[in-house]
Copies of this chain bind each other. A is one copy, B any other.
Amino acid sequence: MKKHYLITPGPTPIPPEVSSKEGLPVLHHRTSEFGVYFVEVIEGLKYVFQTRNDLFLITSSGTGGMESAVANLISAGDTAIVAASGAFGERWGKILASYGAQVVWVREPDGQAIVPSKIEEALKKNPQAKAVFGQHTETSTGVVNDVQKLGEIVSKTPAVFVLDAISGLGGQELRTDDWKADVVVAGSQKGLMTAPGLAMVSVSRKAWPLVEAAKSPRFYFDYRTLRKSIPEKETPYTPAVTLIVSMAEALRQIKDEGIENVWARHAWLAHATREGVKAMGLTIFTQTPCNVLTSINVPAGLDGKKIVKRTREEYGVSIAGGQVQLEGKIVRLAHMGYMGRFDVIIGLSALEMMLHDMGAKIELGKGVAAAQRHLQNPPAAFAPAPAPGAAAIR
């Protein structure tokens, strides 16, 4: 018998109360019974997003949600600014290029955060830019960006601010309306504690004229069609009904915990993970780490790909490696969604054991002990500052 543990930044573990709902008989999606779930899920997501904007559910991977933002906002020839510092920032650029956009890259090295003043500058140099595309947390490197500052800068221009919050939402503090994020994309399989297969997108009033004007071909992802279905309490096309019904349960759990407490829990787990990593004698890949995953530099002489493979095969613990140019150079431990103290302990202890197996200078238990010291205390100390502007959305 080998028990399996998912310590990866998506998919993530799912509460049994949520996954068991997936197995319930399928509801028809054009019925009042489904409508009740639909409304509950849309309202629950608006709470997690902290938004009063329109919010849509799309049956697709998160990448489909990203493409929906491009298809609905950008026409061929439009200028778009991409604030990138990793694989998912690059993905914005690739999608935009395939739609014929003129991409203005503001590219920071992997592992660094976006520098807000550079976005300000890019907007000044490109006043015709329709939108700035960026990441809340860059999953490939574990970086968090200063979304509040970026939102403030973009809000002073005619451009809209489009945020990939796929890995950050429901883990890292995000206040969509207060922070002026016009279009926010998320996915079901990370902080939302549901199986993969659903994307969700919020669209601000500022973004709608762009949606109405955009000439890119689109049908399935068309926000105008999605908006028309909202009063009917349904989606335009047969959605992933069982995922939606199970997500209602996940959103109930988030609401019961309270979004600020969810953010505090993630900050607490992230802090303990980082302290554990440092106590092991390893280093964190970034100076601006997010709270939903931790990227760790692989000790010299070892191959990160092998660490990931062997940790899964020998211990049943799935962790993530580096992508593209970071392949083999970092490993990533997630602490997002349905995760608590002992998920941190499992991730750190598996990493200690594997590195020790592979001949690294690792003292077993040292990283674990450092994490334990922080995990003994409750997460309350990590509570975020009160909402900066309007009252939080309940």
Interface residues of A (CB under 8 A from B): 4, 6, 8, 10-14, 19-29, 31, 59-64, 67, 70-71, 76, 94-95, 98-100, 187, 189, 195-197, 216-220, 222, 235-243, 312, 318
Q: A187-B238, A197-B239, A240-B196 are contacts. A61–B26 as well, Cβ < 8 Å?
A: no
Query: Is the Cβ of A63 less than 8 Å from the Cβ of B28?
Result: no
Across the interface, which residues of B come within 8 angstroms of A241, CB to CB? 11, 195-197
Chain B residues whose CB sits within 8 angstroms of the CB of A243 once the complex forms: 195, 197, 240, 242-243
Determine whether the beta carbon of B19 is less than 8 Å from that of A6. no
- Bound Cα distance A170, B16 (Å): 32
B residues within 8 A CB of A28?
6, 8, 11, 318
Chain B residues contacting A242 (CB-CB under 8 Å) are: 19, 22, 195-197, 243
> When the two chains form their complex, are residues A11 and B31 in contact, meaning their CB atoms are under 8 A apart?
no
| Measured CA separation A206–B181 after assembly (Å) | 45
- Residues in B with CB closer than 8 Å to A219 are 63, 67, 70, 94-95, 98
A-B contact sample (4 more), CB < 8 A, given A19-B24, A196-B242, A216-B217:
A60-B60, A67-B220, A196-B241, A197-B243
A189 touches B238 (CB 8 A): yes
Residue in B11, B19, B59, B61 whose beta carbon sits within 8 Å of that of A196 in the complex: B59
Q: A64-B237, A238-B10 are in contact. Are A189 and B26 (CB under 8 A)?
A: yes
